[in-house]
Structure 1
Amino acid sequence: MTDKAERPRSSHWRGFPVDLGWRNLAVSTRLACAAVAALAIAYWLELPQPQWAVLTVYLLTQSSAGAAFAKGTFRLLGTVIAASCAVICVKLFAQAPVPLVGTAMAWMFLCYYGATRMSNFTAYGFMLAGYTGLLVLFEGAVDPNTAWQVALDRTTETSIGIACATLANALVLPVYAGAQLRALVAGAFSRLADYAATALTSPTGIENVIRLRSDILRAVTKFDALRSYTMFEAREMRANDAVLREIAREFLTVLSIERGLYVRLTDVRGAEGDPLTARLAPVLEATSATLDAIAHNPNAFANPERLRADLAMARRRLAVFSREIEALAGEAPLAPLANTALVVRRAIKMLRGLSFVALTAQSTFRPAAPSGMARSRPRLAERREAVLQGARAALAVLALCVFWYATEWDQGIAGITGLALMSYQCVNTDDPEKLGWPYFRAVIAACFCAYAVKAFVYPWLEGFGMLATFLLLVLVPLGILIGTPRFAKTAGTFTIFFVACATTGNVYDPDPLTFANFCFGLVVGMFVCLMAARLLPVTSQASRRLAYRRTMHQLLPEAAAGPRPARRVAREIVDLIVALLPHLSSVRQEDDVFLRGMLCSASSALELGRLHQAVANPALPPAGRAALAAGLSRFAAIFTALPERAEPRREALELGRAAIGEMWTALERLDPPAGSPAARAVLHAASGLRFLLDRFELDHAFLDRSFSS
């Protein structure tokens, strides 16, 4: 429901499972008062279904004023468009059931197709259009002469809820998305610095490394949503879209560097007694100390000049040591020298990435410069998933309508309502049942509680004042649960359906049988939608498969063959990761394998680019350049034609490994003068090959799979 996880909990109640801090209590009271105000206005206007005004307030519960206003704006827009279209369809097909149902299916298909293709509040607007259009269409078809009144009432009730929720968010303890975004970027940067410090010094801290990486990925996923909400806030709070996307890319780039660095350091530390390892240790410890101080200084991000100066000093320290390593080129054995050079070079690149984030983040809240860059064309897999999402919603409507017609059910409208509500939960998620069944259970609990209230409490209440007092006493505790991350989703669902079912019209007219039938219809509609989701599963697997194929069969071969700059190739791989992040979970093994492999692919593209620079370096002996050029061409050809089936695929990957191994062997055979430009060129090329060889060891689970299942 709402993202209140960012709020600090009151230290007095730290051991209690519910957040009873003053701010959460104030926000809960704000919500309850806005809901009661919306109900009062709906009663005053004598609207037939005042519950829509109340539940809209809770549907718009957000952690920032910008998010609430964005959600309210697109909810209103979706409601108005859907209601207008539904009235037209009722006038055309009210007396023709088959075209009417076909129109409803087509409308759901279009809306859920759009909801899948879009993101954030735009997707929400599409979903609300599908939901509202379906309800107005079928409610209006019952009595076509009053269809326009149904549409007007629904729009008015929704507008009242939006107005009350927006005013409450803006006037009472407003929290701005821009401020949240600033805090999120700063917090993610601190975790990124902590991640880097841990990886540099802790050979056994893999659990902590994984935890920090997951935290950073979750923060990057939130960037886009918060960025989009800032456009509804004051100009000085708005985020520069282009800058924020660069920050997200750089976060992922640093993560990709850090992973390979952590593993390479494990091997370097394993070489006990090696003089290079002994010389490297204090340099890395000093770098880690700098990063650790940054990570644990709450004001570090607020002082970018000092932050960049500290990072620059750490880079200079590593650069001095790098020159010492290069001076040993041609004198010390190539393998340990290349290992050490790779560690130092990637540590420097990691620090450079952190400096870039620190510098760029200062422009996050400056107006964006006009950009001539066209929006990239949608990928085919996204279109396919959107078609499947729309088809699933349309088929669920058809199944319920057939059941409605065959049984002459008198609660078809309730079933349509439940189906529309559950469809909203099932879109844009890889596992709709994981969200759907808890939602389903919370709705059933809300129906029982609402029935108890209507049967045993309302008969004792007289006048709106007593009703408002009772609702405040119920809604404030529920709002506190919504504000507690542990209970937020369940409490939010329960509250929405409780107010929807417990709210009555201006005249209290209890009818237990009608109420029970309505709740049964609601539950049946939800169940039909969940069954449709189970029978026609739609996931991001197609997008994942396309991203994998594009990376392995096209982008990495392009980086190896050299027609495009390696940095552009790496950037495109990172963009593929950013697009898929909302659908990935680091706690799922398959997702973690995919994510780690894609991050490492971005780094591999950069290393392939370095090898091309080595081929073009005249200081590298001709035999080395010829071996690298031939090996890169062979590597590109192997990956371009990488088979999908397991056994031929493993054979092809072994050929790729062999191609890199042959390049390494060719470099080892060279005997350039110690400390010469040729020796340094050999060392640089060898460190790049060392990284690619690591990839076959670390990411065999990623490389061996086609992610086609």
Structure 2
Amino acid sequence: MSTSLTSAPPSGLSARLNRMQARIADAHATYAFKVALVTVLSLYAAFLLDLDHTYWALITIPLIVRPDGGSTVWRSTGRLGGTLLGCASGFLLAVLFGQMPETVIIAVAIFIFMVAFFGQMQAGLDVYAYGSAGLVALIIVIDTGPNVDAAFSLALARTTETAIPVIVVFIVMLVVFPRSISGQAADALRTARKATLSLTGRILRGELGPSLGYEPEVLPAISAANTALRALAYERTRRNHLRPRMTAVMNAINRVAIRAETGRFALNHVPDEADDAEIRDARLRLADAIDRLPGDDVGAAEFLAAADEMARVAETVHPRQVLPPAGGDLSDRALRLGAAFYRMRQLALAVEDLMRAEAALVDPSLPYEKMAPMARRYFDPIGALEFAARPTLVFLVLTTVWIATAWPGGQILALIGSAITLIFPSIVPRALRIGGAITMAKGLACGGVFALVLMMLLPNVEGFGALALILGGAVFAIFYVTREPQHLPLAIGSVLAIAVGFQPQNTPSFSPIGLVNTLVTLTLMPVTVVSALTLIFPEDAGWVRRHLRRATDDLLGKAARRELGDNKLLEQFIDVLADLGLSVSPNDPDGVHLRIRARAALIASGEFYHQERLEGGGHLPARLAAYGPRLRSTVLEAAQRRSGPAECVVFGEMRGTLRTVFADSDLDEEARVDALRYTAVGELLAAILSTGQLSRMREAGDAS
């Protein structure tokens, strides 16, 4: 796939220059240098405008800079949009309620709640824009206080301070040895493709039981690829035109993964499927064909040849292969073979689509399926309410303590503690939040040392050049060791300590005592974040189980009622499995059951949409199509069972109706094939219900 990211590979001197530029752009030192340059230029612009709180410009930097251009522009755009929203909102709040302390606190708390709540509707870095709005509004309202006449000037100054680094980031990160995220997107696609096809081959060979291979092996790669593709949309490079084709590859990978998971379920739970010799031979033929698929470094012709081979394999498992003569009896084995062939054909066709999408990625002249990257997030209103309650309550508690005690450091803690509690969980994955807060505390200590050294050195030098050299060197050192995402809290804590503790200004005033007091105050910030995460609606194992169960119920119901399209439903199921499913501990049997339940619901929902397509195809006999509503309601009823398998009379009736339909000698082949497919869907739904995987709780002694 690496060859597909350039339309015409350069040669000679141009190729050597491109490789050298790529190596420089990828170097850790280059990234650290660019962040240091952003810091120095942002500070210089703030000094030119004679802004008195330049540390807001510095605090913005670690929250928006990333090594690649796409993620940086995405973060910066979100920060800029959030800044403008926060500016307008903060100004209005300050003017309307600034002279009424209790009222303005309540008004700001409501605003924080609203941005946190509505931010949970967004996916990826879009949620950061809402957090930024809350931060800027907090800055303006708290700094304005009762001095309403100064509200506009303060709003303008604070907005300028936070907007300056965004503008500088756009200039520096996209001009000085720019690094595209396209390579990261290609790597993520390559990883997802490899993991999906490897999992598919093992499933077909019966080497993988009903374990959780899909979630830990494939889902992280799919999520990483979708995030990278969305970030790539923010780049305006010659490679960006390939993003729609890369998205087509990603969507094809999604379909292969779901088809493989459906096959694994049938292999492990449909009676006699694993032991039938003809089904096993067909599975092995398909597995061998997948093994022969080309790698990611070949041309379009090889991919197209592989697609043609998969099409031929798909024809060998067409359900018509097992159809009895017109008017003949349909045996139990023929029904079992037809259902298995139908699932294998769907998988083979999905792999064929993947190969054709890969060919279109290599050769831009080939057509492709135009689809947007997965961006739809599953919205959980209760979860959003709980998420929004944390920063709201933290703000109310901290401002109450600050006002009641008249503590000089209370303003900083109320402002930054509330803002970090709002923003931090929106940009840090759930599993890393507590550890990230502890890492941020280490960063505060590290930044405090840097700030103390700066205070000792700068009185002995003069001019902005000396400040730029010393401060830029400190920032370079911090970001040289914090390039990876898991180290970002360390960078945030370090820059925060330098910005608030050192507070560089046009007229410097160095106070070691003030620095110590500031650091003591800032050390309470990680404590605040950890306390909020662990005490206010803690997202522990019980929380994950409750929300995973509720999300599964909701999405399964929407699928049965056909309220969402197939792709939208898949997006939301993947979000639920990646967010909540991967948060389940392997040592939590109840959580593991709910994780498997969500995957079974995803398979069942996909079968609902197969039913819908067959019902609308015009060939399915009406006697079978009439079972559709009953099948869906039966699945929904089974999903509300407390535990254990469900009795499903309707599936037996449907099987009998199928035999009656096949006895009709006037039924054409297309109608008989669709009838067999439709019943195959019903058979798989019956198998899902018979396992008890859709029940709300696991049976005693059942490890799913």
* TM-score, reference length from structure 2: 0.77
Comparing 225-234 with 312-321, greater Cα deviation is found at 225-234
Residue number in structure 2 paired with 1:138: 142
Residue number in structure 1 paired with 2:14: none
Equivalent of 1:30 in 19, 30, 34: 34
The structural deviation recorded for 1:180 is 4.4
Query: Does the 8 Å contact 1:177/1:226 carry over to 2?
Result: yes
Residue number in structure 2 paired with 1:117: 121
Structure 2 residue 411 is matched with structure 1 residue 426: no
Name the CA distance, whole Å, in 2 between partners of 1:641 and 1:327.
Answer: 33
RMSD of aligned alpha carbons: 4.6
**1:252–1:633 Cα change, 3 Å:** same
Structure 2 residue 533 is matched with structure 1 residue 535: no
Residues 477-529 of structure 1: CA distance to partner in whole angstroms, max 9, x if unpaired?
432332235x4334333333243245432455343443333333334455445
Matches within 5 A, 1:107-186: 107-141=111-145, 143-144=147-148, 146-177=150-181, 180-186=184-190
Residues 307-328 of structure 1: CA distance to partner in whole angstroms, max 9, x if unpaired?
2331221231341354794267
Matches within 5 A, 1:459-474: 459-461=456-458, 462-463=460-461, 464-474=464-474
Residue number in structure 1 paired with 2:396: 398
Query: Does the 8 Å contact 1:311/1:351 carry over to 2?
Result: no
Residue number in structure 2 paired with 1:200: 204
Partner AA of 2:495 in structure 1: I
Name the CA distance, whole Å, in 2 between partners of 1:88 and 1:268.
Answer: 63
Structure 2 residue 604 is matched with structure 1 residue 601: yes
**1:613–1:231 Cα change, 3 Å:** closer
Partner AA of 1:514 in structure 2: G
Secondary structure in 2 matching 1:232: coil
Partner AA of 1:535 in structure 2: I
Partner AA of 2:606 in structure 1: S
Residue number in structure 1 paired with 2:651: 660
Residue number in structure 2 paired with 1:576: 572
**1:215–1:166 Cα change, 3 Å:** farther
Query: Does the 8 Å contact 2:593/2:697 carry over to 1?
Result: no
The structural deviation recorded for 1:442 is 3.0
Matches within 5 A, 1:605-620: 605-606=608-609, 608-609=611-612, 617=620
**1:654–1:614 Cα change, 3 Å:** farther
**1:679–1:177 Cα change, 3 Å:** closer
Residue number in structure 2 paired with 1:355: 352
Query: Does the 8 Å contact 2:635/2:685 carry over to 1?
Result: no
Residue number in structure 1 paired with 2:702: none
Equivalent of 2:304 in 301, 308, 321: 308
The structural deviation recorded for 1:137 is 0.8
- Number of residue pairs aligned between Structure 1 and Structure 2: 650
Name the CA distance, whole Å, in 2 between partners of 1:616 and 1:687.
Answer: 16
Name the CA distance, whole Å, in 2 between partners of 1:78 and 1:555.
Answer: 34
Residue number in structure 2 paired with 1:592: 595
The structural deviation recorded for 1:134 is 0.5
Residues 433-453 of structure 1: CA distance to partner in whole angstroms, max 9, x if unpaired?
x54433432333333333334
Residue number in structure 2 paired with 1:106: 110
**1:156–1:591 Cα change, 3 Å:** farther
Secondary structure in 1 matching 2:65: coil
**1:630–1:468 Cα change, 3 Å:** closer
Partner AA of 1:413 in structure 2: Q
Residue number in structure 2 paired with 1:326: 322
Name the CA distance, whole Å, in 1 between partners of 2:89 and 2:629.
Answer: 58
Secondary structure in 2 matching 1:176: coil
The structural deviation recorded for 1:608 is 4.1
Matches within 5 A, 1:516-555: 516-524=516-524, 527-528=527-528, 530-533=530-533, 534-537=535-538, 547-553=551-557, 555=559
Query: Does the 8 Å contact 1:253/1:353 carry over to 2?
Result: yes
Name the CA distance, whole Å, in 1 between partners of 2:361 and 2:25.
Answer: 34
The structural deviation recorded for 1:383 is 4.6
Name the CA distance, whole Å, in 2 between partners of 1:343 and 1:575.
Answer: 26
Residues 345-389 of structure 1: CA distance to partner in whole angstroms, max 9, x if unpaired?
3222123223334545748999x99x9x9xx9999x645544444
**1:251–1:140 Cα change, 3 Å:** same
The structural deviation recorded for 1:248 is 5.7
Name the CA distance, whole Å, in 1 between partners of 2:246 and 2:123.
Answer: 16
Percent identity at matched positions? 16
Name the CA distance, whole Å, in 2 between partners of 1:685 and 1:163.
Answer: 57
**1:679–1:81 Cα change, 3 Å:** closer
Secondary structure in 2 matching 1:505: coil
Query: Does the 8 Å contact 1:32/1:475 carry over to 2?
Result: yes
Comparing 534-543 with 179-188, greater Cα deviation is found at 534-543
Name the CA distance, whole Å, in 2 between partners of 1:577 and 1:331.
Answer: 41
Residue number in structure 2 paired with 1:514: 514
Residue number in structure 1 paired with 2:13: none
Give the gaps of 5 or more residues in structure 1: 1-18, 619-624
Secondary structure in 2 matching 1:654: coil
Equivalent of 1:61 in 51, 57, 65: 65
**1:542–1:178 Cα change, 3 Å:** farther
Equivalent of 2:99 in 92, 95, 98: 95
Comparing 168-177 with 352-361, greater Cα deviation is found at 352-361
Residue number in structure 1 paired with 2:286: 284
Query: Does the 8 Å contact 1:334/1:683 carry over to 2?
Result: no
Equivalent of 1:257 in 256, 259, 275: 259
Partner AA of 1:405 in structure 2: I
Partner AA of 2:509 in structure 1: D
Residues 532-571 of structure 1: CA distance to partner in whole angstroms, max 9, x if unpaired?
4533458788875565334544633x58xxxx9xxx8655
Query: Does the 8 Å contact 1:109/1:390 carry over to 2?
Result: yes
Equivalent of 2:686 in 690, 693, 696: 693
Partner AA of 1:441 in structure 2: I
Matches within 5 A, 1:433-448: 434-448=431-445
Secondary structure in 2 matching 1:117: coil
Matches within 5 A, 1:263-274: 263-265=265-267
Partner AA of 1:702 in structure 2: L
Comparing 574-583 with 340-349, greater Cα deviation is found at 574-583
Structure 2 residue 501 is matched with structure 1 residue 497: no
Secondary structure in 2 matching 1:25: helix
Secondary structure in 2 matching 1:701: coil
Partner AA of 2:392 in structure 1: A
**1:343–1:488 Cα change, 3 Å:** farther
Residue number in structure 2 paired with 1:232: 234
* TM-score, reference length from structure 1: 0.76
Secondary structure in 1 matching 2:448: helix
Partner AA of 2:399 in structure 1: C
The structural deviation recorded for 1:115 is 1.7
Residue number in structure 2 paired with 1:646: 642
Comparing 541-550 with 51-60, greater Cα deviation is found at 541-550
Name the CA distance, whole Å, in 2 between partners of 1:107 and 1:273.
Answer: 61
Name the CA distance, whole Å, in 1 between partners of 2:617 and 2:451.
Answer: 78
Name the CA distance, whole Å, in 1 between partners of 2:245 and 2:510.
Answer: 57
Give the gaps of 5 or more residues in structure 2: 1-22, 585-591, 699-704
The structural deviation recorded for 1:188 is 2.8
Query: Does the 8 Å contact 1:287/1:314 carry over to 2?
Result: yes
Matches within 5 A, 1:40-51: 40-51=44-55
Query: Does the 8 Å contact 1:58/1:496 carry over to 2?
Result: yes
Query: Does the 8 Å contact 2:68/2:179 carry over to 1?
Result: yes
**1:83–1:519 Cα change, 3 Å:** farther
The structural deviation recorded for 1:258 is 0.5
Residues 234-259 of structure 1: CA distance to partner in whole angstroms, max 9, x if unpaired?
27655799988776655443322101
